[in-house]
Chains A and B, each alone.
Chain A
């Protein structure tokens, strides 16, 4: 492994780490602001912010991203002033700090796209400097002298200088070591990361500074790392940890030992004792956490998908052999073992893809904060239950849904403080998002507000439809494409904007459910139930008019034999729709539609001997099909192209014959039928 590889790996890790620190600092700043509004102070949040900024700066200096170093440095100095004084920044200062974080986030995003980070905007630096000056003597830097090259000292942040001086004053020794990565070193198992790990056992790593070297046989990567350490261990131990001769270590002495009275750096060692700046990577390694690009997970999933398809083919070949009278018992055992192992492997990969819901929810406060500004609402956010986990791809799809619901709640549902006061409500509105795993397969997420509720009459008027008498009916109206727009939303009661998109993602794309509960004057609650994972599901395969289909087991209520004599044909009012029968099922009349006639397949070729019963909004509906082919795990591949997007079809799968088989969403198909459309689109 060469030095340049080391650096490249660093960059990937840097981006992830930097993003985390930006979002954590964002969240803490908002917490600080909330505390400030309620008249309390949250010193822990302030320290966390300091630590994030400090780490951001250290990491950025390490990979040479000067613009971020510049911004983080000023923010850090400013925040430290408050930390020392034990007070919180003003609301105005919080704004500037948020702007600073945003500027850092933009630069991190640019680096992730492979672009260069833009220099810091001068007006931002000016604002930060103005804050820094206002913070006054608190932000003053101490300049104890260290027996180190000035250019090295210049790369240290004040806190690190303090850490060194204090450490040395406290009886530890300062040591400068240098590690030069090379393929030979890598072969011995020595990389900068292993060196960090080994050092962590014997020393405190104050700072790791990369340094460019001329290319030579000793430094094939043209790079070295200077390690600034505090330790009580012997030089031999340090040298062994770094893998260098003892003679190459250099002591670091502090000229200011005598001048450092206790308490000269109040609190410095308390909050930051484990916040060892650029050392975040090593911390990650120590915890045994590996960060993986989601594309690599997708590759693994893809590989698994092909394995599952191969297993179907194998099972089919074995069945063929058995049909020809071959004794396949042992082979069948192997296939069964294989199936079990694949299930285990699948579960393992699925687990790796899970991310905590808090990743989603943590972004809500920042969103609400921005909305409050533009809408002049005052809103308190309550988040609950973010430790449930769901698949990364579900999480990504869900985020725009949450954004829509939150935006609607703040923008339209929650009244202005004046109006709330008039109605006898607390001036501050409440937005609550809670979530919990409802089963092994579903996550329930609710977004509720204590706003004005939805006026169904106004919505109906706008939509030109009759007033719905149920919440489900109202929801259906809200989700009509094109209803939306501000005028409905603002004049009535607040919903509509984006509800069509919410429904499309939750119901059509994720195969979930969406519910609404609203009370005029008191508030609205949306409940979403979505699968924790998508892509691989248990499904029934069946045949209809010579074509094979599958339907996920989870959507099926029941599968029944259809006895033609039990069917009662319903007279068709307006011609054109598929013929409709009714069957009595435990005393309940269940409509039966022939899948062949809905799909315009060759109905004559369809025996319709079985019916698959699903429930939509509680009411059962039966789809008559020819015969069931069995139950198996299938890999669902999305069919996203508009040319083949059709209600009732949620994707495709491969049953082992190399051809795609359609995966049906009979619940959605039932809903389409209910809406009066005989078929999604007329097939010529």
Chain B
């Protein structure tokens, strides 16, 4: 069993192993960096450290939206890089059984440009597993995916609460 942080973008739920998450913070805006890829909101200071913020909405091909009180940034660490992900909300940590993980169907993988590399069914909910290295790869902006998983291609999970 591995603990995962569950977060949502446009009502689709995703999970990231807690091992790659340093902390979560509320989001009050970033300083734009001229010349950065469009899906990079800019930089924020978290506990004295200057971090890039990836707008996960735009990263998965959705239109940007204004931050709300629910908006969170998830500070992730990957091979020494520390990058913040901006998500619509994140308030749950869940234990997932690695054995229950399913590979992403080819179509999902293709439509998401490889950003989703697995899924977990938890009761009636479906959690998508993000391929963090790919999300943070610097060449990613060359081929941004089309809107990820429109209504037709997945069954939208029920919202908790």
In Å, the complex CA distance between A684 and B141 comes to: 11
Whether B94 sits at the interface, judged by CB under 8 Å, is no
Determine the residue in chain B with the shortest Cβ distance to A661: B31
Q: Are B29 and A643 in contact (CB under 8 A)?
A: no
Determine the residue in chain A with the shortest Cβ distance to B42: A644
Whether A104 sits at the interface, judged by CB under 8 Å, is no
Question: Which residues on the A side are within 8 Å of B43 (C-beta)?
Answer: 639, 644, 652, 660, 662
Binary CB contact string for chain A from 617 to 659 against chain B (1 if under 8 A, 0 otherwise): 0000000000000000000011101111011110110100011
Interface size class of B (residues with CB under 8 A): 20 to 34
Q: Are A302 and B48 in contact (CB under 8 A)?
A: yes
Nearest CB of chain A from residue B102's CB, rounded to whole Å: 30
Q: Are A637 and B38 in contact (CB under 8 A)?
A: no
Q: Of residues B34, B50, B54, which shows the largest number of chain A Cβ atoms within 10 Å of its Cβ?
A: B34
In Å, the complex CA distance between A317 and B41 comes to: 29
In Å, the complex CA distance between A661 and B44 comes to: 9
Nearest CB of chain B from residue A270's CB, rounded to whole Å: 52
Q: Are B44 and A649 in contact (CB under 8 A)?
A: no
Whether B107 sits at the interface, judged by CB under 8 Å, is no
Q: Are A641 and B34 in contact (CB under 8 A)?
A: no
From residue 11 to 46 of chain B, which have CB atoms closer than 8 A to chain A? 29, 31-38, 40, 42-45
Name the contact of A547 in the complex, choosing from B32, B36, B50 (C-beta under 8 A). B32
In Å, the complex CA distance between A641 and B137 comes to: 11
Given contacts A306-B48, A659-B29, whether A599 and B34 have CB atoms under 8 Å apart is: yes
Whether B143 sits at the interface, judged by CB under 8 Å, is no
Whether A681 sits at the interface, judged by CB under 8 Å, is yes
Name the contact of A637 in the complex, choosing from B32, B35, B40, B50 (C-beta under 8 A). B50
Name the contact of A679 in the complex, choosing from B29, B34, B51 (C-beta under 8 A). B34
Name the contact of A643 in the complex, choosing from B36, B44, B49 (C-beta under 8 A). B36
Question: Which residues on the B side are within 8 Å of A644 (C-beta)?
Answer: 33, 36, 40, 42-43, 52
From residue 102 to 128 of chain B, which have CB atoms closer than 8 A to chain A? none
Given contacts A658-B45, A659-B45, A683-B38, whether A646 and B50 have CB atoms under 8 Å apart is: no
Determine the residue in chain A with the shortest Cβ distance to B32: A547
Q: Of residues A306, A654, A658, A684, which shows the largest number of chain B Cβ atoms within 10 Å of its Cβ?
A: A684
Q: Of residues B36, B42, B54, which shows the largest number of chain A Cβ atoms within 10 Å of its Cβ?
A: B36
Whether B62 sits at the interface, judged by CB under 8 Å, is no
Q: Are A643 and B34 in contact (CB under 8 A)?
A: no
Name the contact of B50 in the complex, choosing from A601, A638, A658, A679 (C-beta under 8 A). A638
Question: Which residues on the B side are within 8 Å of A601 (C-beta)?
Answer: 34
Q: Of residues A599, A600, A644, which shows the largest number of chain B Cβ atoms within 10 Å of its Cβ?
A: A644
Interface size class of A (residues with CB under 8 A): 20 to 34
In Å, the complex CA distance between A302 and B49 comes to: 10
Question: Which residues on the B side are within 8 Å of A639 (C-beta)?
Answer: 33, 43, 50, 52
Whether A667 sits at the interface, judged by CB under 8 Å, is no
Nearest CB of chain B from residue A632's CB, rounded to whole Å: 17
Q: Are A662 and B31 in contact (CB under 8 A)?
A: yes
Given contacts A641-B81, A642-B138, A644-B43, whether A660 and B35 have CB atoms under 8 Å apart is: no
Whether A598 sits at the interface, judged by CB under 8 Å, is yes
In Å, the complex CA distance between A306 and B83 comes to: 22
Q: Are A659 and B31 in contact (CB under 8 A)?
A: yes
Q: Are B45 and A680 in contact (CB under 8 A)?
A: no
In Å, the complex CA distance between A643 and B136 comes to: 8
Q: Are B36 and A660 in contact (CB under 8 A)?
A: no
Question: Which residues on the B side are within 8 Å of A600 (C-beta)?
Answer: 34
Name the contact of B35 in the complex, choosing from A305, A661, A680 (C-beta under 8 A). A680
Question: Which residues on the B side are within 8 Å of A643 (C-beta)?
Answer: 36-37, 40, 52, 54, 83, 136, 138
Binary CB contact string for chain B from 116 to 155 against chain A (1 if under 8 A, 0 otherwise): 0000000000000000000010100000000000000000
In Å, the complex CA distance between A651 and B32 comes to: 13
Given contacts A642-B138, A643-B136, whether A681 and B37 have CB atoms under 8 Å apart is: yes
From residue 77 to 100 of chain B, which have CB atoms closer than 8 A to chain A? 81-83
Question: Which residues on the A side are within 8 Å of B38 (C-beta)?
Answer: 683-684
Determine the residue in chain B with the shortest Cβ distance to A658: B45
Nearest CB of chain A from residue B151's CB, rounded to whole Å: 26
Given contacts A639-B43, A643-B136, whether A649 and B34 have CB atoms under 8 Å apart is: yes
Question: Which residues on the B side are within 8 Å of A302 (C-beta)?
Answer: 48
Nearest CB of chain B from residue A5's CB, rounded to whole Å: 31
Determine the residue in chain A with the shortest Cβ distance to B29: A659
From residue 212 to 250 of chain A, which have CB atoms closer than 8 A to chain B? none
Nearest CB of chain A from residue B138's CB, rounded to whole Å: 4
Nearest CB of chain A from residue B11's CB, rounded to whole Å: 25
Question: Which residues on the A side are within 8 Å of B33 (C-beta)?
Answer: 639, 644, 646, 649, 662
Q: Are B31 and A652 in contact (CB under 8 A)?
A: yes
Q: Are A646 and B32 in contact (CB under 8 A)?
A: no
In Å, the complex CA distance between A641 and B81 comes to: 7
Question: Which residues on the B side are within 8 Å of A660 (C-beta)?
Answer: 31, 43-45, 50
Question: Which residues on the A side are within 8 Å of B49 (C-beta)?
Answer: 637
Q: Of residues B29, B48, B54, B82, which shows the largest number of chain A Cβ atoms within 10 Å of its Cβ?
A: B48
Binary CB contact string for chain A from 526 to 565 against chain B (1 if under 8 A, 0 otherwise): 0000000000000000000001000000000000000000
Nearest CB of chain B from residue A328's CB, rounded to whole Å: 28
In Å, the complex CA distance between A662 and B42 comes to: 10
Nearest CB of chain A from residue B6's CB, rounded to whole Å: 24
In Å, the complex CA distance between A141 and B65 comes to: 83
From residue 131 to 185 of chain A, which have CB atoms closer than 8 A to chain B? none
Q: Are B50 and A681 in contact (CB under 8 A)?
A: no
Q: Of residues B42, B45, B54, B136, which shows the largest number of chain A Cβ atoms within 10 Å of its Cβ?
A: B45
Nearest CB of chain A from residue B58's CB, rounded to whole Å: 9
Binary CB contact string for chain A from 282 to 310 against chain B (1 if under 8 A, 0 otherwise): 00000000000000000000100110000
Q: Are B34 and A646 in contact (CB under 8 A)?
A: yes
Determine the residue in chain B with the shortest Cβ distance to A659: B31
Nearest CB of chain B from residue A491's CB, rounded to whole Å: 32
Q: Are B35 and A648 in contact (CB under 8 A)?
A: yes
Question: Which residues on the A side are within 8 Å of B54 (C-beta)?
Answer: 643
In Å, the complex CA distance between A662 and B52 comes to: 12
Q: Are B31 and A681 in contact (CB under 8 A)?
A: no
Question: Which residues on the B side are within 8 Å of A305 (C-beta)?
Answer: 48
Nearest CB of chain B from residue A662's CB, rounded to whole Å: 6
Determine the residue in chain A with the shortest Cβ distance to B136: A643
Q: Are A649 and B35 in contact (CB under 8 A)?
A: yes
In Å, the complex CA distance between A641 and B34 comes to: 14
In Å, the complex CA distance between A641 and B32 comes to: 14
In Å, the complex CA distance between A644 and B40 comes to: 8
Question: Which residues on the B side are within 8 Å of A684 (C-beta)?
Answer: 38
In Å, the complex CA distance between A679 and B49 comes to: 27
Q: Are B31 and A646 in contact (CB under 8 A)?
A: no
Question: Which residues on the A side are within 8 Å of B136 (C-beta)?
Answer: 643
In Å, the complex CA distance between A425 and B102 comes to: 71
Q: Which residues of B contact A (CB under 8 A)?
A: 29, 31-38, 40, 42-45, 48-52, 54, 81-83, 136, 138
20 additional A-B residue pairs with CB within 8 Å, beyond A643-B36, A658-B45, A659-B45: A598-B34, A637-B45, A637-B50, A638-B50, A639-B50, A639-B52, A641-B81, A641-B83, A646-B36, A649-B33, A652-B31, A659-B44, A660-B45, A662-B31, A662-B43, A679-B34, A680-B34, A680-B35, A683-B38, A684-B38
Q: List 18 A-B contacts (CB under 8 A).
A: A302-B48, A599-B34, A638-B50, A643-B52, A643-B54, A643-B83, A644-B40, A644-B52, A646-B36, A648-B34, A658-B45, A659-B31, A660-B45, A660-B50, A679-B35, A681-B36, A683-B35, A683-B38
Q: Which residues of A contact B (CB under 8 A)?
A: 302, 305-306, 547, 598-601, 637-639, 641-644, 646-649, 651-652, 654, 658-662, 679-681, 683-684
Counting from the closest, the 5 A-B pairs by CB-CB distance are A646-B35, A680-B35, A599-B34, A684-B38, A642-B138
